A = this chain, B = another copy of it.
Amino acid sequence: MRLDTCQGVCVHTEVVDAVNKKMESEEMLFQLADFFKALGDSTRIRILHALSFSELCVCDLASLLNMSSSAVSHQLRVLRGQKIVKYRKDGKNAIYSLDDAHVATLLEQGLEHVNE
């Protein structure tokens, strides 16, 4: 017989049970995954990295990243959805910035990790 899951011989039951009790809810972990997923795209990372230096309008971002405004706007929508960026209107422009300092900190720490 071949089961793809473990047959109970190798499972460290006590430890698994203890960890299981401490785990956050599925719902919470899904939200956490969605949050990191929003950070896990090179376009969105470049947007956020740029915004960590200064607030910028969609046009500025498109110019900076050498991309269409449409593509940038689509990605900003994702970031707004996760409350990672916020914006204010100034005439025809929408001026985006990081939602809070917390986000900048996470980016910093990510960069530290990448730099070994």
Contacts and interface: CB of A to CB of B under 8 A. Distances in A.
Interface in A60-113: 60, 62-64, 67-70, 83, 92-93, 102-103, 105-107, 109-113
Interface of A: 4-6, 10-12, 15-16, 18-20, 22-24, 28-42, 44-46, 49-50, 53-54, 56-57, 59-60, 62-64, 67-70, 83, 92-93, 102-103, 105-107, 109-115
Given A37-B41, A45-B32, A20 B64 contact: yes
Given A15-B54, A109-B102, A23 B49 contact: yes
A40 B40 contact: yes
A53 B22 contact: yes
